[in-house]
Amino acid sequence: IYIPNPTVLNSETGKSYLSIKNITITSNVLIIGDGVAGYRQVGGAIRVLDGADFGFYFKGTSNSSRIIGGGLRGISMIGETASNNSTFVKAEHCSSMEFHNVSMRQGGSAFNIRDFMESRIDYCYFNSLGSETLNVIHIGDYMDSAPWNVNNLHISNNTFGSCSGNWIYASDSANADLIWVEGNKFEWDSTPTNPNSTNKSVIYVGRVERFYIKNNGFV
């Protein structure tokens, strides 16, 4: 599915962005725009409405009946207002997904993932996300029966700034395996929209098997 840049979208529809709320996707849909990750909505511009539980929910049926492929590429997502606390992307029972050159700003969690394998989140931009109770990238508890959860996930070459919560988080019941966190920039940048009231971690690793943190920059 192609979402045009704001100028083209405005000429066709009278609006420069697409508003979404609670969209569940059960097949390997790839949503693409023509943007790069950054502060401006230069790609396929999407606004996640306030009060949404999530923007997109990629949802397979079970570990044996998964979504194989799909994701987001060249898309810009922003919460409707600064008080937005929606999860932009949820994914469960999914494999071989890509989230590439995606900009996410002004919301709750960027990602909440479980039983999510052989996939990548790379060259993305995360700004003004998270809160005291919401993490930017949240690897949740294992599903169905242990050890099914997140395996062979690459989180690489992303930029994080002005975020709250834990920025990358694997829960104490995650049992994640082969998580690669490489080449990212983690920057304070400016005062977060929803600052933490208690100390949080840039990277929190709970129950995992293999978790590699290499060549990142912390500002």
* Dist. CA 164–CA 80, nearest whole Å: 18
Q: Please check the confidence at residue 41 and state whether its pLDDT lies above 90.
A: no
The structure's pTM equals 0.96
Range 44-69 burial, b when 16+ CB lie within 10 A, else e:
bbbbbeeebebbbbbebeebeebbee
Q: Please check the confidence at residue 194 and state whether its pLDDT lies above 90.
A: no
Q: What is the pLDDT of residue 190?
A: 85
* Dist. CA 215–CA 105, nearest whole Å: 24
What is the mean pLDDT of the segment spanning 178-198? Answer: 93
CA dist 174 → 19, 125, 208, 209 (Å): 32, 24, 7, 10
Catalytic residues: 118, 177, 187, 189
Q: Please check the confidence at residue 204 and state whether its pLDDT lies above 80.
A: yes
Q: Please check the confidence at residue 40 and state whether its pLDDT lies above 90.
A: no
* Dist. CA 150–CA 83, nearest whole Å: 30
The pLDDT tens digits for 63-94 are 889 999 999 999 999 999 999 999 999 999 99
Tokens of 138: 């949240």
| Gyration radius from the chain CA atoms | 16
Q: What share of the chain is helix, strand, coil (3-state, %, to 5)?
A: 5, 45, 50
Question: In this structure, are residues 6 and 36 in contact, taking their beta carbons and an 8 Å threshold?
Answer: no
